[in-house]
Amino acid sequence: MTWRAALLVVLTLSTFGPFAVLVLQSMSAGWRWPELLPLAYSGEGWQRVTTGSLGRAAATSLWLAVCTACAAVIVALPIGRALAKLRGVSRHIAAALVFLPVAAPPIALGAGLQIGTLWLGVGGTGVGVWIAHCVPAIGYVALLFLGVFTTRDVADEEAARTHGASRWQTWRHVLIPSLRIPIVEALAIAFLISWAQVALTLVVGGGAVRALPIEVLSLVRAGQERDAAVGALLLILPAVLTLAALRTGARRTDALPA
Amino acid sequence: MPFPRDVTTATMYGVNVTPTSSPDPTAAMLAKAPALRLQAVRVPFGDPSGAIDGLHDVSLHVAQGERVVLLGPSGEGKTTLLRAIAGLSPIAGGTIEVCGRDITHVVPESRGTVYLHQTPVLFPHLSVADNVGFPLTVRGTAKAELRRISLQLLERVQLAELADRLPHTLSGGQRHRVALARALAAKPRLLLLDEPLSALDPVLRREVREAIRGIHDDSDAGLLLVTHDLEDATALGNRIAILLNRQIAQCAPAAELFARPASVDVMRFLGLHQEFVGTRTEDGAFATPLGVLRVPVGAADSVHRAQQVIVGVRTDAIRCAAVGSASVQVTGQIQQLRQRASGSTASVLVGASLIEATIDSLDAPSVGSHVGLAVDARGVIGFPGTPTNV
């Protein structure tokens, strides 16, 4: 075996190994050490998605992620645009402020947000967790839009204005349609940030908000390996779908080779 | 308050569209006012505070239905001025009026102006027809009506068959024509075109030039067009405004501009004249390497009093002629021939001066031969100045 083939094997195992184990575990009806494969298979773990706590947790995560994605894009789009218009030191300072929640450890951010959400009277609620998720999501997405607007030619907006479009009409008829792909990417990123959020959900939700990552964490700690594997696969699913969708979109727009 | 764009509905479209109400006094007043009047406009370059040098005291007017070409060297601020008129760049002082209305501080969409970028900017996600209909869309025009007008406008630029195509499928010339049709859909009082002909090959250049002329001829909107090409300026402008040293140095019809540039700077920028030092003779004429020339009466009084002047002679007013001809003023030896599609010339050494003179390209003299030079007095102009200015 050449060193390149060896590297390929290592890469394949490290990439797909954990997922293969999760798939087998989720369908097993008993898998004990030192068996290499499960002794029996069952669909019971997946059936519990619709009947058990995993389904409820997935639904909670879904609405949190959808709302976070929408809010993040709505807020971050104008922020990114405003940042791109700044020049010199003020731009660096503003960009650093936006980057702070992204760079800060989630647990530290959560500690601060917990106090804030308690003041707002939404501590330990879904709304509080949603607000907490929005903070890093807005940071990420604003930085994405900063990049987009920095390189974007505003000639089409100017053309729209001088042809009679108001600011709002320019946004609606020109800017947003022309930013369709970055907006979809931003929605996907913000969705995934919220979907995979553990620390902020745990700290701000105080255990009362049972999002999917929290539920999977509980199942792992409780030793319910099959249900934990099902939950983990559910967590992975949006990331895989997003990756596939973005790659398809990028190929369609010639951003990637076929 | 949005600009009243419907005053000239019938003439703008030229088809089936008539005003629904009787003309009002405001409309009549607007019809008499210039399409554009700039008064002492100052436009900063880059810095809105005006701290950085920019355009200063720019005054200009464009009559309704008139085409004025703004000509000047690169970096002089032609595009900046156009953008300021369109409301896309801030101004530091002065007033901008469109059809008698002060629009100095009006938002771009309500100025009654349309600004077309150097490269036509079409909205990539909209079809050709929807691009043309964009100004009507934002005004809430019903879809059926919008489609009808878009097709009529596309018909006028011979692109109706491409109505449902997307912009990226169009050629460069087609994109320009779609942009012009869309501009008309906005029914502007003033059309601002920023170097629409630059970077086009000669065939496309002619196509777009004709499209601009054709579309504007049916309109009573004013047109201010930026170019740095004298040929385009002559072909398109009723008048040509020269922007030099951040000011309008002269604005006049092409023939007047070429015959009587207002200053040495304008003359040098146009590049149509050759400059000589003229020394006053006893009879009030000026001795130059081209012989004794009389500066036309139109020249400034100071020229007639000066002992030394800068004499400009249009190259096409200096002709090679047979030695001994009655019209010949000086003789010289041909050093070089320059054959051109039109206006071939020869470099003729007269004393120590090398003078460019027009030749008959069908009967061109040979290099080294001796020729006479005849000067048409109508192509001579004088400016006060010293030899160091020449």
Higher pLDDT, B384 or A10: A10
Chain B within 8 Å of A159 (Cβ-Cβ)?
yes
Alpha carbons B311 and B32: distance in angstroms, whole number: 41
Rounded to an integer, what is the distance from CA A196 to the centroid of its chain? 6
CA distances from B36 to A76, B82, B215 (A): 40, 11, 19
Query: What mean pLDDT is predicted for residues B262-287?
Result: 89
List CB contacts of B212: < 8 A, sequence separation 6 or more.
B180, B193, B196, B223, B225, B236
Label residue A258 by pLDDT band (50, 70, 90): very low
* Six-digit token string for B73: 């060297």
The mean of the pLDDT values for chain B is 84
CA distances from A161 to A236, B95, B319 (A): 44, 21, 53
Between strands B67-71 and B222-227, the pairing is parallel
Q: Which of A85, A157, A161, A162 best tests the B interface by mutation, with the highest count of B CBs <10 A? A: A162
Nearest by CB to residue B117, choosing from A159, A165, A169, is A159
The answer to whether the CB of A216 falls within 8 A of the CB of A228 is yes
Q: Is the pLDDT of residue A74 over 80?
A: yes
Nearest by CB to residue B109, choosing from A156, A165, A174, is A165
Label residue B304 by pLDDT band (50, 70, 90): low
Label residue B32 by pLDDT band (50, 70, 90): low
Label residue A142 by pLDDT band (50, 70, 90): very high
Contact assignment for A164 to B86 by CB distance below 8 Å: no
DSSP state for residue B294 in the 8-state scheme: P
Question: Which residues of chain A are within 8 Å of residue B186 when distances are taken between CB atoms?
Answer: 162-164
Instruction: Note the pLDDT of residue A256.
Output: 47
Q: What is the percent of chain A where pLDDT is above 90?
A: 50
**Residue B212: how many other CB atoms lie within 10 Å:** 24
Query: What mean pLDDT is predicted for residues B103-120?
Result: 93
Question: Which residues of chain B are within 8 Å of residue A183 when distances are taken between CB atoms?
Answer: none
- DSSP for A70-128 reads HHHHHHHHHHHHHHHH--THHHHHHHHHHHHHHHS-HHHHHHHHHHHHHHHT-TTSHHH
Contact assignment for A155 to B121 by CB distance below 8 Å: yes
* Residue A130, φ and ψ in degrees, nearest 5: -60, -45
Q: Is the pLDDT of residue B21 over 80?
A: no
Contact assignment for A177 to B186 by CB distance below 8 Å: no
Nearest by CB to residue A164, choosing from B119, B121, B135, is B135
Alpha carbons A217 and A54: distance in angstroms, whole number: 11
Q: Is the pLDDT of residue B324 over 70?
A: yes
Higher pLDDT, B170 or B322: B170
CA distances from A209 to A14, A69, A204, A218, A237 (A): 32, 18, 9, 13, 21
Query: What mean pLDDT is predicted for residues A192-197?
Result: 94
Question: Which residues of chain B are within 8 Å of residue A160 when distances are taken between CB atoms?
Answer: 123, 134, 138
DSSP state for residue A28 in the 8-state scheme: B
Which amino acid is located at B364 in the chain?
A
Q: Is the pLDDT of residue B217 over 60?
A: yes
Partner A, chain B 50-89, Cβ-Cβ below 8 Å: 86-88
Q: Is the pLDDT of residue B20 over 50?
A: no
Nearest by CB to residue B113, choosing from A162, A169, A180, is A162
The answer to whether the CB of B264 falls within 8 A of the CB of B116 is no
Between strands B113-116 and B190-194, the pairing is parallel
Q: Is the pLDDT of residue B284 over 90?
A: no
The answer to whether the CB of A215 falls within 8 A of the CB of A53 is yes
Instruction: Note the pLDDT of residue B218.
Output: 77
Label residue B377 by pLDDT band (50, 70, 90): confident
Tens digits of per-residue pLDDT, A213-244? 999 999 899 888 888 999 999 999 988 888 88
Helix, strand, or coil here: A249?
A: helix
Instruction: Note the pLDDT of residue B339.
Output: 81
Label residue B46 by pLDDT band (50, 70, 90): low
Contact assignment for B137 to A174 by CB distance below 8 Å: no
Q: Is the pLDDT of residue B4 over 70?
A: no
Tens digits of per-residue pLDDT, A168-187? 999 999 999 999 889 999 99
Q: Using omega within 30 degrees of 0 as the cis cutoff, is the peptide bond preceding B253 cis?
A: no
Label residue B62 by pLDDT band (50, 70, 90): very high
Question: Which residues of chain B are within 8 Å of residue A156 when distances are taken between CB atoms?
Answer: 121, 123
**Could you tell me which residues are beta bridge partners of residue B226?**
B70, B194
Helix, strand, or coil here: B14?
A: coil
Label residue B7 by pLDDT band (50, 70, 90): very low
Query: What mean pLDDT is predicted for residues A145-158?
Result: 92
Torsion angle, CA of B140/B143/B148/B154, rounded to 10 degrees? 80
Q: Is the pLDDT of residue B137 over 80?
A: yes
Q: Is the pLDDT of residue B144 over 90?
A: yes
Question: Which residues of chain A are within 8 Å of residue B119 when distances are taken between CB atoms?
Answer: 155
Alpha carbons B225 and B202: distance in angstroms, whole number: 18
Number of residues that this document lists for chain B: 390
Nearest by CB to residue B135, choosing from A163, A166, A174, is A163
Contact assignment for B186 to A163 by CB distance below 8 Å: yes
Q: A229-243, B51-65, B301-315, B346-360: which has the minimum mean pLDDT?
A: B301-315
Across A254-258, B65-69, B325-329, the highest mean pLDDT is recorded for B65-69
Q: Is the pLDDT of residue B33 over 90?
A: no
Chain A within 8 Å of B135 (Cβ-Cβ)?
yes
Label residue B388 by pLDDT band (50, 70, 90): low
Tens digits of per-residue pLDDT, A93-140? 988 888 888 888 888 888 889 998 999 999 889 999 999 999 999 999
* Six-digit token string for B388: 């160091």
In b/e form, how buried is each residue of B340-363, taking b as 16+ CB within 10 angstroms? eeeeebbbbebeeeebebbbeeee
The answer to whether the CB of B86 falls within 8 A of the CB of B113 is yes
* Six-digit token string for B93: 């002082």
Higher pLDDT, B142 or B203: B142
Question: Which residues of chain B are within 8 Å of residue A158 when distances are taken between CB atoms?
Answer: 86, 88, 108, 115, 117, 121
Torsion angle, CA of B375/B378/B384/B388, rounded to 10 degrees? -30
Chain A within 8 Å of B140 (Cβ-Cβ)?
no
Contact assignment for A158 to B115 by CB distance below 8 Å: yes
**Residue A205: how many other CB atoms lie within 10 Å:** 26
Label residue A42 by pLDDT band (50, 70, 90): confident
Tens digits of per-residue pLDDT, A56-66? 999 999 999 99
Q: B59-63, B81-85, B161-165, B172-176: which has the minimum mean pLDDT?
A: B172-176
Instruction: Note the pLDDT of residue B297.
Output: 56
Query: What mean pLDDT is predicted for residues A141-154?
Result: 92
Tens digits of per-residue pLDDT, B163-188? 999 999 998 889 989 999 999 899 99
Q: Which of A153, A163, A170 best tests the B interface by mutation, with the highest count of B CBs <10 A? A: A163
Q: Is the pLDDT of residue A193 over 50?
A: yes
Nearest CA in chain A to B121: A156
* Six-digit token string for B161: 């068959």
CA distances from B255 to B197, B239, B319 (A): 22, 9, 20
